Amino acid sequence: MKKGTIKALLAGTLAVSLAGLVTGCSAVTGSKASDEITVVGKNFTEQDIMANLVGLMLEKNTDLKVKTKSYLGGTDVCFSAMKSGSADVYVEYTGTGLVNIMGEKVMSDSDAVYQKVKNEFPDKYKIEWLNPIGFNNTYAIAVTQETAKQYNLKTVSDLKAHQGEIVFGTEQEFLDRDDGLKGMKSTYGLNFKDVKAMDPGLKYQALTSGKVQAIDAFTTDGQLAKNNLVLLADDQHFFPPYYAAPIVRSEVLKQHPEVGDVLNKLAGKIDEKQMAELNAEVDIEKKKAGDVAEHWLEEQGLVKK
């Protein structure tokens, strides 16, 4: 099947999905039953797991009717659905809330970022932040165990002593972002031997094959666990925090306070390593996100088998 055809099919599927979402559950227009909750997720693996996790928690621990719609779209699509009342809950990241949604400048203090979005979202958007789930899906610099040992690398600052020997592999987006390579090089005074922009799917292969010696990564990437990679400590605290937490429409939380009670049981339950392992189960072991989410919830005793 041609790539263009796939894109057309995906676009059509998304359009149908969005249309169904808007027409099928508009709490604003009153067409949605008050005991029905719509959980959505963005269009990548971690969000697929989170949408299923949140949906199952509500389905199995409340009397509410729950609809879960993974892969709805990017941040703009999911947040617009929340503002319109056609979605009720999804998992957002604090840095995304601050920078992408509120349009504020990058802040590095994780507690200050969380408090700012938590305090200002209700007035600005009629949306509430619940307690953080625990993991911080931010940028990081990854190297192989062999490279870390060869150059004695533990922190990003340690790269400076060997910068003339290191080729850095990066996604195009990281190359262009203020909170990406440009700002990182300025903060740490780095000037690598070379920088190679590449497709995300090729980045880890380039690293493990030795074509590059360091790459940008997300701290919850499933490939980190698979390849036993080392994340260098951000000792200058350059990368902004992106802690994950459920956000809920204020109207829904007022009508159904049990939603907050149930979802806050996820608080602090998943760290970066565990989230990377869950992502790997889907991306590498090819398990279904819903099965991974349900198994984890059962193991934690958060839902009954």
Segment 126-157, tens digit of pLDDT: 999 999 999 999 999 999 999 999 999 999 99
Contact between 245 and 129 under an 8 Å Cβ cutoff? The reply is yes
CA atoms within 13 A on the CB side of 123: 6
Segment 20-55, tens digit of pLDDT: 444 344 333 333 557 999 999 998 899 999 999 999
Give the whole-number percent of the chain exceeding pLDDT 90: 70
Nearest to 132 by CA among 285, 23, 272, 13: 272
- Between residues 234 and 26, which one has the greater pLDDT? 234
Which pLDDT does position 32 carry in this prediction? 54
Which pLDDT does position 292 carry in this prediction? 98
What does 1-47 look like in DSSP terms, one character per residue? Answer: --HHHHHHHHHHHHHHHHHHHHHH--TTTT-S-TTEEEEEEESSHHH
CA atoms within 13 A on the CB side of 171: 13
Which pLDDT does position 106 carry in this prediction? 81
Q: For 153-172, what is the mean pLDDT?
A: 96
**pLDDT confidence of 4, banded at 50, 70, 90?**
very low
**DSSP symbol at 178:** T
Helix-strand-coil split of the chain, %, nearest 5: 50, 20, 30
Extract the runs of DSSP E, i.e. beta strands, from the chain. 36-42, 65-73, 89-93, 127-129, 139-143, 167-170, 194-197, 214-218, 230-232, 244-249
Contacts of 32 (CB under 8 A, 6+ apart): 24, 25, 26, 38, 85
Contact between 52 and 46 under an 8 Å Cβ cutoff? The reply is no
Which pLDDT does position 5 carry in this prediction? 34
Both tokens of 222, joined, read 């499933």
Which pLDDT does position 262 carry in this prediction? 98
**pLDDT confidence of 11, banded at 50, 70, 90?**
very low
Give the whole-number percent of the chain exceeding pLDDT 70: 89
Q: How far is CA 9 from CA 5, 23, 45, 78, 283, in A?
A: 6, 21, 20, 20, 22
Both tokens of 168, joined, read 């850095």
What is the Cα–Cα distance from 164 to 274, expressed in whole angstroms?
A: 34
CA atoms within 13 A on the CB side of 157: 6
Work out the angle at residue 199's Cα, subtended by the Cα atoms of residues 139 and 110, and round it to the nearest 5 degrees: 10
Which pLDDT does position 21 carry in this prediction? 43
Which pLDDT does position 208 carry in this prediction? 96
